[in-house]
C-alpha cells in the first residue's frame, strides 16, 4: 500500500516509519513525504532516504483551506497515495478532506486520548498530576484529535519529570507504535466498527509488546 506521510517540522515519527518501511516485508511503501512548511527539518531526512518529497506551503494560501487541501490532494494523487499518515502535521483538516480519506487517514498524538486533545499535552499532563501519560494512534474523524483509537502506549510520569523528559519518554513510544499501526492498516488487518477499531490478527497487537 502506498502511504504519504504529512509533516510540519522535525519529522522524527516520519523517520521511524521510514526506518520500518526499509525492512523487507513491511507492507507499506512510503510514496511521498509532504510538508506544509518549506523549512520542515524532516524534508531533508526524507530526501536523504531517497523518498519523494513535496511542499504545499499552507502560508501561501492565506486562510484558503479548501485551496490548500486541493493542492495537497493533487500531490497525493500524483504519487498514487492510498493511505495518509499525519506525523506532527500541525494543520487542522477540513470536514471534506477528512470525509474523503475516511479510514485511510491516521494520526499520532502525544497523549492517551481522549485525554489532552490539542497542543501542549506534556505540560498539561504534568499540571493535571496524572501518573500515566503516553501516545495514541487513531483514525482521523472531523475535529481536533478525534477518531477511533488504533494503538496506544503508556509511560510513567516520574516525580522529577519536566516537559522535556516526559516528551522524550513518550516520543520513544510514538516511534514504536506508529510504524506498527501503519503496518496493520497497510496489511488490511484493521476493521472499523463504528467508533471502535479492531485489529484482525491477535498476533499483531502482541507484536507491540516486544
Closest CA to 128 of 142, 112, 116: 116
Give me the residues that bind ligand GAR (CB under 6 A), please. Answer: 7, 9-13, 87-88, 108-110, 145, 171, 174
In the bound state with ligand GAR, the residue whose beta carbon lies nearer, of 24 and 105, is 105
d(CA 9, CA 140): 20
In the bound state with ligand GAR, the residue whose beta carbon lies nearer, of 114 and 206, is 114
d(CA 34, CA 100): 18
Whole-angstrom distance between the N-terminal and C-terminal Cα of the chain? 24
Report, in Å, the least distance between residue 9 CB and ligand GAR: 5
Report, in Å, the least distance between residue 176 CB and ligand GAR: 13
Contacts of residue 163, Cβ cutoff 8 Å, sequence gap at least 6:
122, 123, 126
13 annotated as ligand-binding: yes
Cis geometry, peptide bond prior to residue 114 (ω within 30 degrees of 0) = yes
CA distances from 72 to 6, 33, 35, 46, 163 (A): 10, 11, 9, 18, 33
DSSP strand pairing (132-139 vs 105-109): antiparallel
3-state secondary structure (DSSP) of residue 183 = helix
Q: Which residue is nearest to ligand GAR (CB)?
A: 88
88 annotated as ligand-binding: no
Report, in Å, the least distance between residue 174 CB and ligand GAR: 5
In the bound state with ligand GAR, the residue whose beta carbon lies nearer, of 45 and 197, is 45
65 annotated as ligand-binding: yes
11 annotated as ligand-binding: yes
The catalytic residues are: 109
Report, in Å, the least distance between residue 80 CB and ligand GAR: 24
In the bound state with ligand GAR, the residue whose beta carbon lies nearer, of 37 and 109, is 109
**Binding-site residues from annotation for (6R)-10-formyltetrahydrofolate:** 65, 107
**Binding-site residues from annotation:** 11-13, 65, 107
Amino acid at each position: 500500500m502506498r502511504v504519504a506521510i504529512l509533516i510540519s517540522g522535525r519529522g522524527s515519527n516520519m523517520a521511524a516509519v521510514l526506518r520500518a518501511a526499509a525492512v523487507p516485508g513491511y507492507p507499506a511503501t512510503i510514496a511521498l513525504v509532504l510538508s506544509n512548511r518549506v523549512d520542515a527539518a524532516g524534508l531533508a531526512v526524507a530526501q536523504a532516504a531517497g523518498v519523494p518529497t513535496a511542499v504545499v506551503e499552507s502560508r501561501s494560501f492565506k486562510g484558503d483551506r479548501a485551496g490548500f487541501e486541493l493542492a495537497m490532494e493533487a500531490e497525493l494523487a500524483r504519487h498514487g497515495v492510498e493511505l495518509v499518515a499525519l506525523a506532527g502535521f500541525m494543520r487542522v483538516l477540513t470536514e471534506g478532506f477528512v470525509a474523503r480519506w475516511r479510514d485511510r487517514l491516521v494520526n499520532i498524538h502525544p497523549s492517551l486520548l481522549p485525554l489532552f486533545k490539542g497542543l501542549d499535552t506534556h505540560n498539561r499532563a504534568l499540571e493535571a498530576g496524572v501518573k500515566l501519560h503516553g501516545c495514541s494512534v487513531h483514525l482521523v474523524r472531523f475535529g481536533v484529535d478525534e477518531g477511533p483509537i488504533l494503538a496506544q502506549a503508556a509511560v510513567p510520569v516520574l516525580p522529577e519529570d519536566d516537559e522535556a523528559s516526559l516528551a522524550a519518554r513518550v516520543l520513544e513510544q510514538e516511534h514504536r507504535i506508529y510504524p506498527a499501526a501503519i503496518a496493520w492498516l497497510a496489511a488490511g488487518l484493521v476493521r472499523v466498527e463504528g467508533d471502535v477499531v479492531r485489529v484482525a490478527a491477535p498476533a499483531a497487537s502482541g507484536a507491540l509488546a516486544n
